[in-house]
Amino acid sequence: MAAAATSAATTIPKPSAHLSSSSRSSISISRFTLPLSLNPQKTIPHRSLHISNAVSKPTTPAPSSSFSSSSSTSTTTRQESPPRFSPDEARKGADILVEALERQGVTDVFAYPGGASMEIHQALTRSPIIRNVLPRHEQGGVFAAEGYARASGKPGVCIATSGPGATNLVSGLADALLDSVPIVAITGQVPRRMIGTDAFQETPIVEVSRSITKHNYLVLDVDDIPRIVSEAFFLATSGRPGPVLIDVPKDIQQQLAVPNWNTPIKLPGYMSRLPKVPNDSHLEQIVRLIFESKKPVLYVGGGCLNSSEELRKFVELTGIPVASTLMGLGAFPVGHELSLQMLGMHGTVYANYSVDKSDLLLAFGVRFDDRVTGKLEAFASRAKIVHIDIDSAEIGKNKQPHVSVCADVNFALQGMNKILESRNAKSKLDFRAWREELNEQKSKYPLKYKTFGHAIPPQYAIQVLDELTNGNAIISTGVGQHQMWAAQFYKYKRPRQWLTSGGLGAMGFGLPAAVGAAVANPGAVVVDIDGDGSFIMNVQELATIRVENLPIKIMLLNNQHLGMVMQWEDRFYKANRAHTYLGDPSRESEIFPNMLKFAEACGIPAARVTRKEDLRMAIQNMLDTPGPYLLDVIVPHQEHVLPMIPSGGLLKM
């Protein structure tokens, strides 16, 4: 039985296979199916396996490659695992799979067992390298894998069983695709002979996930596991990163085989489409536009997270102010004098003003999302637009640029910085008048908020957290008002500090993402700034946090409502409440549910604060308490996220 999916130009070694695959639109894929009748499995001598439930883990994590929006030179660091088997000794497919993960540098996975994935979990107990952080729901597992990848730069790995286990990964896969996060999701599947029979816990997860993964595989030959795993990690981390799914039938997991670790990856079609190093003439053209402009502005997104050093150098050489997307926060320090903070629907007035008045918009690693542009025709209508992105499908998709370069932003910035240095740009470029104009806007329209007597403004809570952590914490969020306030009022200093569900807007993301971040960064301060609506969607992950003793701090901004939906009700539906109140209508004076009881049930210290004058001490106590902690911050529901440009609207000054 031959393997699963590869690119169109890929050589299929055993054409008598059932091929299932999917890919991003930029890569064409061939598909064919043949009957499910299977050839007899190879006869391999059985080897007895010793299974231990307690395996000591190394204190030093194994090395692993960090992902980047990279060019075709991207490679994955491999690590040789300790020899559990002699080279020519047969072992189960599940053991081959786990060893393949080890060889990719994987040290942590987020896996929830079930009938079709039991063999993988048994193999994990035999690994002296890989630690499984057991989530309490598969969605928690995939969001944790995302948090791990976003915070560390390494691909996150999650594992689930077939059927409902696999379908519980769907939101996380879609989220990773939209936000370009490299994860490898592995699912158990019913035995090959039962595929298509509506067997117990059978879902065609390859077909279900086809449009929300960068690529996926159905493994139909145990000998293909080493190659497929290598390809999956390469695909997830190269080019524009994204999620890759590997579906492994149970009989493949149980089949004995001798792995060939030297099988090369076979992705010629994909490799030919990876962006090359940018052409110097194109970069010269961009530099010429910079020298000709009077009011340039940088519009940077998630594609710049791996280019922070070169981006800072570019800004130092040019003096061009920087506006960031939600996904790009931290690529350039928010507290820098040239930072305009976030632009878009809930961006700063001065960031949106800069784009509206600019004569040159340098759009690096962005996709002109609707929450940034508003009415497309009016967005940067006075400016020449330069668009640099690693994904050719994004260039011209929403907004047609005047100059475009399909390349890794890091390589493009390196090239432009060399040109700028050779032309002594730092002394020749002078945008002081433009910066003064923007500084005037900063003075006139700063981010501000209302006060409510002794009540705690949610923005103030985030400001205090920023002060007490010196802007160094890793912040995860759910989705809603608290997410936007965390984007506005925490001063991110570096990339991978800010973990949020941007494109999909998946509530319930914050808590499990914090789990992944804490696993990837054991010494870091990790804070989940969450809302009561988002928090309760994956509240079961408190159990994981406690059992793993992860020092995650949860600052819950509790307004008893679905705050962002309520805000839209106030502004566009005459404040008619349509199921956005999350408390108990029969006891409106009480806080419901009592979040402290959830923490207590999991043995996590918790406290509630209701008065502004008590907040600073409460947050300091949260930060000083060893291990996990939940702080329930009661905030008024009347507060709105401002500024706000309505969807499809225009900036009005």
User: 606 near 595, Cβ under 8 Å?
Assistant: yes
Give me 542's structure tokens: 């408190």
**Residue 550 predicted with pLDDT over 90:** yes
- What phi, psi does 629 have (nearest 5°)? -160, 140
- What phi, psi does 280 have (nearest 5°)? -60, -35
pLDDT in tens, 293-335: 999 999 999 999 999 999 999 999 999 999 999 999 999 999 9
- Domain ends where: 396, 424, 445? 445
Confidence band, pLDDT 50/70/90 cuts, at residue 653 = low
For range 280-286, the mean pLDDT: 97
Confidence band, pLDDT 50/70/90 cuts, at residue 65 = very low
For range 137-164, the mean pLDDT: 98
pLDDT of residue 406: 97
User: 110 near 158, Cβ under 8 Å?
Assistant: yes
Let me know if residue 85 belongs to a domain.
Answer: no
Do 284 and 266 fall into the same domain?
no
pLDDT in tens, 570-624: 999 999 999 999 999 999 999 999 999 999 999 999 999 999 999 999 999 999 9
Do 428 and 306 fall into the same domain?
yes
Confidence band, pLDDT 50/70/90 cuts, at residue 80 = low
**Residue 43 predicted with pLDDT over 70:** no
Give me 264's structure tokens: 């090369």
Which residue(s) pair with 186 in the sheet?
159, 246
Let me know if residue 49 belongs to a domain.
Answer: no
Do 521 and 546 fall into the same domain?
yes
Amino acid at 637: H
Do 358 and 431 fall into the same domain?
yes
Do 493 and 403 fall into the same domain?
no
pLDDT of residue 649: 81
For range 181-204, the mean pLDDT: 96
Parent domain of 607: 458-634
Identify which of 155, 135, 159, 136 has the alpha carbon closest to the alpha carbon of residue 146. Answer: 155
Do 110 and 231 fall into the same domain?
yes
pLDDT of residue 1: 40
Strands (E), 509-626: 526-531, 552-558, 606-609
Q: How far is CA 202 from the centre of its chain?
A: 28
* CA gap 55, 37 in Å, rounded: 40
Beta strands 296-300 and 360-364, pairing class: parallel
Kindly calculate the radius of gyration of the chain based on its CA atoms and give it in whole angstroms: 25
* CA gap 103, 231 in Å, rounded: 13
| pTM confidence score | 0.87
User: 325 near 301, Cβ under 8 Å?
Assistant: yes
Do 198 and 302 fall into the same domain?
no
pLDDT of residue 84: 84
User: 649 near 372, Cβ under 8 Å?
Assistant: no
Lowest mean pLDDT among 35-49, 109-123, 486-500, 557-571: 35-49
Cis bond before residue 593 (omega within 30° of 0): yes
Give DSSP secondary structure letters for 367-391. Answer: ---HHHHSSGGGTTTTSEEEEEES-
Sign, CA dihedral 138-141-145-150, equals positive
Sign, CA dihedral 180-181-186-190, equals negative
> Catalytic residue positions?
138, 200-201, 250, 564
Percent of the chain with pLDDT over 70: 87
Q: Tokens 């570019």 appear where?
A: 314
pLDDT of residue 37: 35
pLDDT of residue 21: 39
pLDDT of residue 83: 72
Do 465 and 586 fall into the same domain?
yes
CB atoms within 10 A of CB 589: 7
Identify which of 300, 285, 342, 295 has the alpha carbon closest to the alpha carbon of residue 318. Answer: 295
pLDDT of residue 650: 76
pLDDT of residue 605: 98
For range 406-414, the mean pLDDT: 97
Phi and psi based region of residue 125 (left: phi greater than 0; alpha: psi -120 to 50; beta: remaining): alpha
**Residue 153 predicted with pLDDT over 60:** yes
Amino acid at 62: A
User: 497 near 469, Cβ under 8 Å?
Assistant: no
Give me 118's structure tokens: 């039991």
CB atoms within 10 A of CB 627: 14
CB atoms within 10 A of CB 230: 21
Do 293 and 377 fall into the same domain?
yes
CB atoms within 10 A of CB 498: 26
Q: What is the CATH number of the domain that holds 314?
A: 3.40.50.1220
Give DSSP secondary structure letters for 324-355. Answer: E-TTTTTSS-TTSTTEEEE-STTS-HHHHHHH
Per-residue three-class SS string for 492-560: CCCCCCEECCCCCCCCCCHHHHHHHHHHHCCCCCEEEEEEHHHHHHHCCHHHHHHHHCCCEEEEEEECC
CA dist list (Å): 421 to 153, 271, 304: 29, 33, 21
Do 138 and 201 fall into the same domain?
yes
- Domain ends where: 400, 416, 445? 445
User: 537 near 506, Cβ under 8 Å?
Assistant: no
Q: Tokens 């009592």 appear where?
A: 594
For range 143-148, the mean pLDDT: 98
* CA gap 270, 29 in Å, rounded: 10
Lowest mean pLDDT among 8-12, 176-180, 181-185, 420-424: 8-12
Give me 558's structure tokens: 């509790």
Which range, 7-16, 77-86, 166-175, is most confident?
166-175
Average pLDDT, rounded, for the chain: 89
Do 241 and 107 fall into the same domain?
yes
Let me know if residue 110 belongs to a domain.
Answer: yes
Residues in the chain: 653
Sign, CA dihedral 394-396-399-403, equals positive
Let me know if residue 84 belongs to a domain.
Answer: no
Residues contacting 387, CB < 8 A, separation 6+: 363, 366, 394, 395, 396, 399, 401, 403, 404, 405
Element (H, E) at 569: helix 563-572
Let me know if residue 71 belongs to a domain.
Answer: no
For range 138-154, the mean pLDDT: 98
Residues contacting 288, CB < 8 A, separation 6+: none
Percent of the chain with pLDDT over 90: 85
Confidence band, pLDDT 50/70/90 cuts, at residue 68 = very low
- Domain ends where: 241, 272, 303? 272
Let me know if residue 336 belongs to a domain.
Answer: yes
**Number of domains comprising the chain:** 3
Q: Measured at the alpha carbon of residue 145, what is the angle toward residues 144 and 147, in degrees to the nearest 5?
A: 60
For range 341-367, the mean pLDDT: 97
pLDDT of residue 82: 57
pLDDT in tens, 1-39: 444 443 333 333 333 333 333 344 333 333 333 333 333
Do 540 and 428 fall into the same domain?
no
CB atoms within 10 A of CB 614: 14
CA dist list (Å): 96 to 145, 158, 224, 455: 21, 17, 10, 57
* CA gap 584, 561 in Å, rounded: 11
Q: What is the CATH number of the domain that holds 551?
A: 3.40.50.970
138-152 helix and 541-548 helix, angle to the nearest 10 degrees: 60
Per-residue three-class SS string for 113-181: CCCCCHHHHHHHHCCCCCEECCCCCHHHHHHHHHHHHHHHCCCEEEEECCCHHHHCCHHHHHHHHHCCC
Confidence band, pLDDT 50/70/90 cuts, at residue 206 = very high
Q: Measured at the alpha carbon of residue 455, what is the angle toward residues 454 and 458, in degrees to the nearest 5?
A: 140
Let me know if residue 55 belongs to a domain.
Answer: no
Let me know if residue 556 belongs to a domain.
Answer: yes
* CA gap 297, 414 in Å, rounded: 19
pLDDT in tens, 483-500: 999 999 999 999 999 999
For range 339-351, the mean pLDDT: 97
